[in-house]
Chain A
């Protein structure tokens, strides 16, 4: 079956603009995660959804970052007033539930803020 998909694959934006990144999880996966990977660093957790509620938003770096999820499907990560330090690869992952399930990762969106 289809894996996790993300769009766009690449996004270049000017500082100060808003961007929306999309994630389509594997069908039936109730848990969805967003991570960020800045150059030379490991993946940083941003936010976790179980269904359409977000019980863990502890990784969102500022109030410019927000995310929502429609039911148990697509999620959108929005970054307002982008800054150069927001440049990174944004990865989405989904899993059948919480607990011991494997997280399946998407290909990522490479965001460049100029």
Chain B
């Protein structure tokens, strides 16, 4: 079955602390994974995708096929990082995205 699991509904950290948002997936083929972010009163937008291997706003994510994980990391959290983060899996040729339930990141001053 194709599934994305984000075990934490809420992650609260202090400004300047490291952040790791967990994401695990279940997929039999070659996965394509994404992180989407939704800031308050804004629409859902793409943060990064694993094939780009880039850092966006200081965030990185590495695909670990052995652990079937795609955790999102940032070494030093900023208050403006507070948002809802969704991990998503593109399910092969169907092009649809399968989303996790999301993690609310709250960065305290």
Chain A residues proximal to chain B, CB less than 8 Å: 3-4, 31, 33, 35, 40-45, 48, 56, 58-59, 91, 98-100, 102-108
Return the contact of A105 from the options B43, B49, B95 (Cβ within 8 A): B43
Report yes or no: A103 in contact with B97, Cβ–Cβ below 8 A: yes
Report yes or no: A42 in contact with B43, Cβ–Cβ below 8 A: no
Binds A, one of B11-19, B54-62, B64-72, B99-107: B99-107
Q: How many A-B residue pairs have CB under 8 A?
A: 51
Chain B residues proximal to chain A, CB less than 8 Å: 4, 6, 32, 43-46, 49, 51, 86, 88, 94-102
Bound complex: CA of A37 vs CA of B51, how far in Å? 26
In the complex, residue of chain A having the shortest beta-carbon distance to the beta carbon of B41: A107
Bound complex: CA of A100 vs CA of B49, how far in Å? 10
- Set of chain A residues within 8 Å of B94, measured between Cβ atoms: 48, 56, 58
- Set of chain B residues within 8 Å of A48, measured between Cβ atoms: 94-96
What's the minimum C-beta distance from B2 to chain A, rounded to whole angstroms?
A: 10
